[in-house]
Amino acid sequence: MERGGQAGLGSREGPAGNGPDPGCARAAAAPGDGQAAAALLAPMDLGEEPLEKAARARPAKDPNTYKVLSLVLSVCVLTTILGCIFGLKPSCAKEVKSCKGRCFERTFGNCRCDVACVDLGNCCLDYQETCIEPERIWTCSKFRCGEKRLSRSLCSCSDDCRDKGDCCVNYSSVCLGEVSNAHLVPQQPDIPLHGGGVLFEMPPTLLFSLDGFRAEYLHTWGGLLPVISKLKNCGTYTKNMRPVYPTKTFPNHYSIVTGLYPESHGIIDNKIYDPKMNAFFALKSKEKFNPEWYKGEPIWLTTKYQGLKSGTFFWPGSDVEIKGILPDIYKMYNGSIPFEERILAVLKWLQLPKDERRTRFFRSFIWTSQQ
């Protein structure tokens, strides 16, 4: 039996009987079953061992690292969003929605503020109020407050208009919210007169006339005329004036500045024919500038003789060289100049620097607003 058994463990012939089976030879060469299994599994163990070692050698990731990275990324995104909101949105809104500070600039967006926008139909909603009306009106509106200066505006609502002395008449009330005190009587009427920050060493004499202004207007409607009411309360005032005959513009105004009746100062009407001179005087004719028609001594001549200065704005006769003399400042009559522009010009005269006013500038000042 042992021999048979040993014979059973011996080499076997191959299928063709030509030699031993290679697989059986390897199996028979193993010293034992455990060693044979280890020998067969050795290549597999060698292939898996480096991966397991690498996995064990790799350090475990800290979960806080992901939190820090997420927080940094969130902060960056939030900063970008806030930058867009607070940095880009105001400029975009200004460009798209309003003409304030952009009048006649060729900046493009959803709306424009230049002249071409009218034809293109893409003007900003406030184009008319912000860019066009300042060339036509003398008042401020909420659209104009804090505006960028426009070269063609009649008056200004910019933040520096008080320093420049060209604010619109309602700038303080509309843009600054100040309550007008023009109707109040000053508590110290004898203090030196200031005009736009200018201190006068001698108070100027202001004489103004509103042609055709009935005395009843001020008596009945004084509450609607705060500026004129304050001039009345702070200055010299009479309840009424009895006009000279005829009650026309030139005869009465020339009587005021000469103290003479028309038959003495020569201007007896707005239209005159003199047979001796064989000339016709009319307000729209060149003959109006002939000094032969004007007799007497108007107050601007008296001022000149006293070494003082005077300025006139459209007072009848002030643009004529009477006795070869004209006021220091005067304007040739032009009915197309609006009343607001006349007032603004007078205020600028009063605000001239001291070296230009000298010591007694505008000691006598005459101005009229004719209709």
Query: Is the pLDDT at 280 greater than 50, yes or no?
Result: yes
β-bridge mates for residue 199, sequence order: 194
State the average pLDDT over residues 56-76: 70
Lowest model confidence (mean pLDDT) among 6-15, 57-66, 160-169, 336-345: 6-15
Query: Is the pLDDT at 111 greater than 90, yes or no?
Result: no
Lowest model confidence (mean pLDDT) among 108-112, 189-193, 226-230, 264-268: 189-193
Cβ–Cβ < 8 Å for 9, 28: yes
β-bridge mates for residue 274, sequence order: 279
Lowest model confidence (mean pLDDT) among 30-44, 118-132, 202-216, 273-287: 30-44
Cβ–Cβ < 8 Å for 263, 291: no
State the average pLDDT over residues 277-306: 95
β-bridge mates for residue 210, sequence order: 369
| Stated pTM of the model | 0.59
Q: Annotated active-site positions, please?
A: 249
**pLDDT band of 108, cuts 50, 70, 90:** low
| Residue 279: its H or E element | strand 279-282
Q: What is the pLDDT of residue 254?
A: 96
Cβ–Cβ < 8 Å for 124, 113: yes
Cβ–Cβ < 8 Å for 255, 265: yes
Report the share of the chain in percent with pLDDT over 70: 68
Closest CA relative to residue 132, chosen from 143, 120, 146, 145: 143
Query: Is the pLDDT at 17 greater than 60, yes or no?
Result: no
Q: What is the pLDDT of residue 356?
A: 65
pLDDT, tens digit (0-9, with 9 covering 90-100), for 138-158: 889 888 999 988 888 888 999
Which domains, ranges and CATH numbers included, belong to the chain?
103-179 (4.10.410.20), 194-242+297-369 (3.40.720.10)
What distance lies between CA 8 and its chain's CA centroid?
Answer: 116
Please say whether the dihedral angle defined by the alpha carbons of residues 351, 352, 355 and 359, taken in this order, is positive or negative.
Answer: negative
Q: What is the pLDDT of residue 15?
A: 45
- Give Cβ neighbours of residue 248 (< 8 Å, ≥ 6 apart): 269, 270
**pLDDT band of 207, cuts 50, 70, 90:** confident
Phi-psi region of 69 (alpha: psi -120 to 50; beta: other; left: phi over 0): alpha
Q: What is the pLDDT of residue 267?
A: 98
State the average pLDDT over residues 235-263: 91
- Residue 258 neighbours by CB distance under 10 Å: 23
Residue with token string 């009649």: 154
Burial of 361 (0-12, 13-18, 19+ CB in 10 A): buried
pLDDT, tens digit (0-9, with 9 covering 90-100), for 310-365: 889 899 999 999 999 999 889 998 888 888 888 888 888 887 777 666 434 444 44
Q: What is the pLDDT of residue 52?
A: 56
